[in-house]
Amino acid sequence: MKYPAAFIREDDGYTVSFRDIPEAISQGDTYDEAVEMAEDALLTAMDFYFEDNRSVPAPTPAQDGEVLIGLPLSASAKVLLLNALLEQHVSQTELAKRMGIRPQQVTRIVNLEHTTKIDTLEQAFKALGKSLDFTVA
């Protein structure tokens, strides 16, 4: 998932904001530092959605002057899983039942800081009647 970011040149560096994820705001002294900080701010903002059990907005196309900033693939998969759970009104406990695992394991699956095997994420999507696919661009 790649979100459009606006980089505004300031006297002391760059300020970065995301139209789709207003919680993600950052800055950097140089452009390269601002990109790094934007990546971190975007990932950190995802925590708010997970903590509040809110759907994460899908990225919109970039407008003139915006730069696409990507989430790590593992985080993107977990964001899509969160959105699928909310869309289908499936609790983590219900997902655990469908997957035949303990609820604590699902808690780890939807934790952005916990490393989850891609096969486990695929099983979670399958339990929701969905498939997880990747493409190489």
Sheet of 13-18, strand order = 25-28, 13-18, 2-10, 67-70
DSSP string, 5-19: EEEEEETTEEEEEES
> Above 90 in pLDDT, residue 46?
yes
Dihedral angle sign, alpha carbons of residues 76, 2, 83, 87: negative
3-state secondary structure of 29: coil
pLDDT at 25: 96
- Where do the structural domains in the chain lie, given as residue ranges? 2-70, 73-127
Instruction: Encode pLDDT of 85-132 as tens digits.
Output: 999 999 999 999 999 999 999 999 999 999 999 999 999 999 999 998
**φ and ψ at residue 117, rounded to 5 degrees:** -65, 145
pTM of the model: 0.91
Instruction: Encode pLDDT of 49-72 as tens digits.
Output: 999 999 999 999 999 999 999 999
pLDDT at 83: 97
Architecture of the CATH domain 2-70: 2-Layer Sandwich (3.30)
